[in-house]
Amino acid sequence: MKDTLNVVELFAGVGGFRLGLEKADASIFKTVWANQWEPSRKAQDAFDCYKKKFGGEPSNQDIATVPSELFSTLNIDLLVGGFPCQDYSVARSLSGEKGLEGKKGVLFWEIKRVIEHSHPKYVLLENVDRLLKSPSKQRGRDFAVMLATFRDLQYNVEWRVVNAAEYGAAQKRRRVFIFAYKNKLDFAKKQQVFSQDNIVFKEGFFAKTFPVHEEPYKKRIATGTLPNDILEISDYFAFDFHTAGIMMDGNIFTVQTEAKNPSFTPLKDILMDEATVAEKFYLTEAQAEKFAYLRGPKKIERTSAEGHKYIFSEGGMSPTDELDGPGRTMLTSEGSINRSTHIVEVNGKKRFLTPIECERLNGFPDNWTATMTDRMRYFCMGNALVVDLIEKMGKTILAIEENEEIVSEQITITLR
């Protein structure tokens, strides 16, 4: 085991990955480079927050403009990042000399570029859970392209959709986490001893971190093999990926898992003392009426762009959020006049969650984002990770690394 693990954080936001890893063990996880850049924005609020909290010289530029040579010098052990769900289709380059090319601006290809020039032992990524089903007309294609990319980079991959509220958090936040590890590692060799179902249910990275029942939920299970040619995957391949699974050498095993002994933190436990809540967060009479309408059931006649009329229906929801249960998934629109915004009622008064309470929903320290406006604080927390989940995964990586004797090695990559 190395004394420290060099970490590179891509699409860093306000630092949820780094904060979680440092909570796991700040003496071992050392972030050697981080990048955060918000396109089309003059103000770089998330970057400013990241730099203020962690210091150093994080990168604030388009990741596509960062020279590949930099990544070769960083000696990366662990690459982490939360990236957007985009179009992962590929095509032959016009000249044919460069093989396959992904669409410009798709950030996963930047992750691939970093890996090709640094070969980290471990990669930990986060995305919205719809990644497993996209695009709607060729379900599973995008995730299959990602898996094949890792296969060709000589990595095994585990994935799991984790609901944070099932593992102690105060928010029903469902995200897919992807853990890739080089197939030459000691850990990889030990995993090969187990059957794929045993890895997913008991012995794998996610099973050790987030325990599940050892039977698939409603018998939802599937196996398959990725075509060798990524272009064939992009053009024709579709697959029903479930919420957990593993890919080794192109062989897929996937199931829907069910959390064992789920537990959550109730929303009431993260609320501030009402005496400290500013008046601006309490609803006016007009706002209360608007939210009553937005959260109530409705049937509205609408006209489509083609001119035909239809009925838009929406079911009702509770006028306020249940304080004894976990919060709903927080979106970037949190704090605005929006159906998805949390509304709590305390001592007979209805109000928004404060930015501090939103930080607590994601496990950040109070006032972590106090460098920015309330609107941007809500926005950044709507985009952020649940820090406690990263801490748990960081501890599992440390347990793996304790028994690891193989250090990072350079591998020549050839796309199939």
Q: Quick: pLDDT tens for 10-40.
A: 999 999 999 999 999 999 999 999 999 999 8
Which tokens is 302 given? 């609408």
**What pLDDT digit, counting tens, does each position of 138-197 carry?**
999 999 999 999 999 999 999 999 999 999 999 999 999 999 999 999 999 999 999 999
Is 380 one of the catalytic residues?
A: no
The rounded distance, in Å, linking the Cα atoms of 180 and 361 is 27
- Report yes or no on 413 lying in a domain: no
Average pLDDT over residues 270-286: 98
Question: Is residue 320 in a domain?
Answer: yes
Please tell me whether residue 72 adopts helix, strand or coil conformation.
Answer: helix
Strand partners, 31: 7
Share of the chain above pLDDT 70, in %: 95
Residue 408 counted as domain residue? no
Whose CA is closest to 50, among 42, 39, 58, 38? 58
Give domain status of residue 207, yes or no.
Answer: yes
Q: Are residues 304 and 251 in the same domain?
A: no
415 pLDDT band (50/70/90 cuts)? very low
Looking at the structure, tell me whether residues 204 and 279 fall in a common domain.
no
Asked if the structure places residue 412 within a domain, the reply is no
Q: How far is CA 146 from CA 37, 50, 90, 132, 157, in A?
A: 23, 28, 11, 10, 10
**Is residue 47 in a domain?**
yes
Q: Which two tokens stand for residue 25?
A: 């063990």
C-alpha dihedral (145, 147, 149, 152), degrees to nearest 10: -130
Same domain, yes or no: 318 and 216: no
Domain assignment of residue 410, yes or no: no
Question: Do 35 and 168 belong together in one domain?
Answer: yes
Asked if 64 and 146 sit in the same domain, the reply is yes
CATH classification of the domain holding 322: 3.90.120.10
Selected catalytic residue, list 49, 85, 358, 380: 85
pLDDT at residue 19, as a whole number: 98
- Would you say residue 366 lies in a domain? yes
Is the pTM for the entire model greater than 0.85? yes
Number of domain units in the chain: 2
How far is residue 311 from each of residues 196, 239, 295, 303, measured CA to CA in Å?
47, 33, 18, 9
